[in-house]
Amino acid sequence: MTETLTETPVVLTASAARRVAEILKDEAPGAALRVGVDGGGCSGFQYTYDITTKREADDIVLEAEGATVLIDQVSFEYLKGSHIDYVSDLMGSAFKIHNPQATASCGCGTSFAI
């Protein structure tokens, strides 16, 4: 895994990396999954996911198992120390972010508070 400019890295689990690689295989060459944080959601902030071919010079780049994940510098401040996972259970399958900075989160895990 490659991490760029990180003191407290964001970790992409093997399960998440495999799912990202699967999603990106039918996308344009150089495509990546951008993970971000925006204001909103029922807990104050929400995680965002977007497929992109645009990279910024200061993006944090996570690479594993053929998958590339990009995180902008502002979002990285809210994601430091997090683990990005992909889980599958009786309720369905989804990316799940385990964020040690979050003091509260919604029931579905897509929004959080700090």
Each residue of 31-74: pLDDT tens digit? Answer: 999 999 988 766 678 889 999 999 999 999 999 999 999 999 99
Each residue of 62-73: pLDDT tens digit? Answer: 999 999 999 999
Q: Where are the domains of the chain?
A: 11-105
Other Cβ atoms less than 10 A from the Cβ of 37: the count is 24
For residues 62 and 2, is the Cβ–Cβ distance under 8 A? yes
Q: Whole-angstrom Cα distance, residue 82 to residue 9?
A: 7
**Higher model confidence: residue 5 or residue 79?**
79
For residues 53 and 28, is the Cβ–Cβ distance under 8 A? yes
CATH of range 11-105; options 2.60.300.12, 3.60.40.10, 3.40.50.2000, 3.40.50.300: 2.60.300.12
Q: Whole-angstrom Cα distance, residue 57 to residue 38?
A: 20
What is the distance in angstroms between the CA of the first residue and the CA of the last residue of the chain? 28
Q: What is the mean pLDDT of the chain?
A: 85
